[in-house]
Structure 1
Amino acid sequence: MKKFLLGTVALIAFAAPAAAADLAARPYTKAPPAPVALVYDWSGFYIGANGGWGSSRKCWDSVAPALLIGAEGCHDATGGTAGGQIGYRWQASSWVFGLEAQGNWADFRGSNASTLFLGARNDSRIDAFGLFTGQVGYAANNVLFYVKGGAAVTADRFRIFDIPTGLVVGTTGDDTRWGASVGAGVEFGFAPNWTAGVEYNHLFMQDRTHTFVDGAGAFFAADRISQDVDLVTVRVNYKWGGPVIAKY
């Protein structure tokens, strides 16, 4: 019995160092690095192109010194547009602020038969427009939602046709009209320095009285013409600035 107890103690004493050696031999595994989130940065200058569609609602009213006074009806001048924009944005947290200038060629045309002067057709056309706006937006990483507003200018042309002959009997020549613009858009950063988006703008161009002259330059008519414009465009921009920020 005594020999048995001595052997058991010796066996335990031998096994303990061996177990300790086994524990020390286990390999050390390094913890994985913390994930890195990439945050899109909207700050910087940008330049781009746009294209889309527009519609201008115009209502004509004959006014003095014309012999007949009254409403002549309304029409929509619609068509395509293409142009470019340049601007600058700066980002503070998730808020984005910006300034932009945009210039577009346009081909918005429309006409209606006058309800006051039988045989006459009132015709209008917008050849170009420009927008000078400020922006306020909210960025969800590489997606930007924004509203904008500022000044607008249109290059207009108004004419009166004789329906039976198709001849121009009265014209204002080229006309530049200033107004205001409000709009909204969404933009997506699809590459480090490239973005694409869709934008809507409404232009308040107010009422304006125009004098029409005939081919000899003599007075022909006078009309007060109201004008609003709706624009929907697709935009692509290239921007300068840090495309992404590493956030740990």
Structure 2
Amino acid sequence: MKKFLLGTVGVMALGLAPAMAADLPARAYTKAPPVIAAVYDWSGFYIGANAGWGSMRDSWNGFGLDLGNHDSTGAVAGGQIGYRWQAANWVFGLEAQGNWADLSGSHVDYNWLPAWTEHSKLTAFGLFTGQVGYAWNNALLYVKGGAAVTSSKYDFTVGAPVNLVASTNDQTRWGGTVGVGFEYGFAPNWSVGVEYDHIFISRFDADFYNNGLVLATNRVGGDVDLVTARLNYRWGGPVVARY
């Protein structure tokens, strides 16, 4: 009798199991979360440092003569501050840059006897530019242009038996500049880059003094080419989410 009851209960349980399973609600489908791609954002204020090399092509004229020319070359170092804003892949910006420079050179002028040695030295420059660039995520290629200011000094020496030195005062000159650069964001707020700039400086008449007296007025000056490496730190949203 006991075995009969146990068997009956078992058969009933087997019969109820499919029915109970049929009454259970269907499992809801859960959509996988969207993939979020981090996109670099170049917007924000930035400050940085730069260092590199420069060359100034300096031509001299005086007394109705071509007095020759030379390249003044050397190191440059300084800093920059600016602001960029990004619209889609386009990046726009404004920047001010100031640099110490040590671009110096000379040549011997054989128009005279004894010969003169003419020296040029660029000691500082500043750039005030606008930028337009195109960004591929954390890589940015840009062009720039605007105003430039340079500080330079010139002198000539006359050898024995005259033994004379004549120098200009510091010459501050304004001109224009254009450039191109590439920058790479290697961390959320840090980027490194390389930049080429050309400074247009019109030649000008400079007075040369010795003991307070003007000994000569020569036409001097020339354009400047610069190549610098840059490191920037930016404030602002470094990445945005894109679904």
Q: Same fold (TM over 0.5)?
A: yes
1:225 correspondence with 2:225: no
Q: Label 1:167 to 1:246 Cα distance change in 2 as closer, same or farther (>3 A).
A: farther
Alpha-carbon RMSD across the aligned residues, in angstroms, is 2.4
Q: Label 1:83 to 1:166 Cα distance change in 2 as closer, same or farther (>3 A).
A: farther
Hey, what does 1:4 align to over in structure 2? Answer: none
Hey, what does 1:170 align to over in structure 2? Answer: 166
1:156 correspondence with 2:156: no
Aligned mates of 2:204, 2:26 — CA distance in 1: 88
1:60 correspondence with 2:55: no
Counterpart secondary structure, 2:34: coil
CA offset digits 1:145-178 (Å, max 9, x no partner): 1000001011100000124489552111211011
Q: Label 1:166 to 1:185 Cα distance change in 2 as closer, same or farther (>3 A).
A: farther
1:115 Cα shift? 3.6
1:204 correspondence with 2:193: no
Q: Which amino acid aligns with 2:151?
A: A
1:34 Cα shift? 2.0
Aligned mates of 1:144, 1:116 — CA distance in 2: 51
Aligned mates of 1:247, 1:114 — CA distance in 2: 65
Sequence identity (%): 54
Q: Which amino acid aligns with 2:153?
A: R
Cα pair 1:71 1:115 within 8 Å, conserved: no
1:244 correspondence with 2:239: yes
Aligned mates of 1:28, 1:159 — CA distance in 2: 87
Hey, what does 2:106 align to over in structure 1? Answer: 111
Cα pair 1:185 1:200 within 8 Å, conserved: yes
**Which one of the candidate residues 131, 151, 156 is aligned to 1:135?**
131
Q: Which amino acid aligns with 1:123?
A: H
CA offset digits 1:11-69 (Å, max 9, x no partner): xxx99x96x969x899877443221111111111000000000000000000xxxxx42
Q: Which amino acid aligns with 1:175?
A: Q
1:98 Cα shift? 0.6
**Stretch moving more, 217-226 or 204-213:** 217-226
5+ residue gaps, structure 2? 1-13
Aligned mates of 2:119, 2:146 — CA distance in 1: 28
5+ residue gaps, structure 1? 1-13, 63-67
Cα pair 1:159 1:168 within 8 Å, conserved: no
User: Paired residues, what number?
Assistant: 227
TM-score (normalised: structure 1): 0.84
Hey, what does 1:72 align to over in structure 2? Answer: 67
TM-score (normalised: structure 2): 0.86
